[in-house]
A = this chain, B = another copy of it.
């Protein structure tokens, strides 16, 4: 493919689908965005029995409409790139494929009751279409960098949560016992994480005085532990922001004209007063009109 053949249909399609600079590209993106969200809502509504019974046909039509659109999109994405295999096995390629296929499988392989269960699970895969939205996610680099920078410390924190939960979970299993809902250690550890993260469902709750005392320690510990990841992300993020700013400052070091209050640099042609609010039409001092270029 030569670069002289720039404006053949393939390039055009590529421009529309992969880029958002042209009006057609923008329109495509908006349509896709709406359809993704619509398809998520469809899957959700389908799972509500009362709605599914009433509007089954409507939901099915909607679902086929979305599926066919996604199928066309998937095919166009493949044909318009120069290395289709690269797209197909990329994360987005796989998500796009999984977003399309369940309806076809459901259509062609309708079997016994057993198969229906598997099928139902498969069709719910369509909810993962929401991940297609990631394309439109303006990645916040500062955020990403601060999380990556604090990666090791977050793992240490998760390790601390895990160890605390196992140790306290075992103790609670011994103290409360099976009679009070702590039927086994894994369940006890689960309860411990519920408590440590301050979720506190209340489906299992300590009944003995000693159990409640230990719970107190777990809760205060959990309440304190949350300070750690927050402090880390906060500090790392602050550093990322400061670094960015420092670079910026260095770049514009020569002319330090920074305005955080919306005041413009105009001076009144009549009384020479300065510090007019941005957008002011008249001088606040003498009432004379202010001129804008």
A residues near B, CB below 8 A?
A: 40, 43-45, 47-49, 121, 124, 127-128, 130-131, 133-134, 137-140, 142-143, 145-147, 152-154, 156, 158-159, 161, 163, 166-167, 170, 173-174, 183-190, 193-195, 197-203, 205, 209, 212-213, 215-216, 219-220, 222-224, 226-239, 241-243, 245, 247, 256-261, 263, 275-277, 280-289
Contacts A233-B228, A239-B238 given; does A197 touch B184 at CB 8 Å: no
Tell me the complex Cα distance, A184–B47, Å.
Answer: 5
B227 and A234 contacting across the interface, CB-CB below 8 Å? yes
Contacts A231-B230, A280-B284 given; does A189 touch B44 at CB 8 Å: yes
B287 and A282 contacting across the interface, CB-CB below 8 Å? yes
- Chain B residues, CB < 8 A from A45: 186
Contacts A230-B230, A234-B230, A282-B285 given; does A197 touch B219 at CB 8 Å: yes
Supplied contacts A143-B153, A261-B263, A283-B284, 9 more A-B pairs, CB within 8 Å: A48-B183, A142-B153, A158-B220, A230-B230, A230-B233, A247-B260, A258-B261, A275-B277, A277-B284
Number of copies of this protein chain within its complex: 4
B185 and A127 contacting across the interface, CB-CB below 8 Å? yes
Chain B residue nearest to A193 (CB atoms) is B216
B166 and A138 contacting across the interface, CB-CB below 8 Å? no
B138 and A152 contacting across the interface, CB-CB below 8 Å? yes
- Chain B residues, CB < 8 A from A220: 158, 161, 193, 197
In the complex, how many angstroms separate the beta carbon of A282 from the nearest chain B beta carbon? 4
Q: Which of B43, B201, B223 contacts A202 (CB 8 A)?
A: B201
In the complex, how many angstroms separate the beta carbon of A125 from the nearest chain B beta carbon? 9
- Chain B residues, CB < 8 A from A121: 174
What are 6 of the A-B contact pairs (CB < 8 Å)?
A: A48-B183, A124-B185, A194-B215, A202-B203, A228-B233, A231-B235
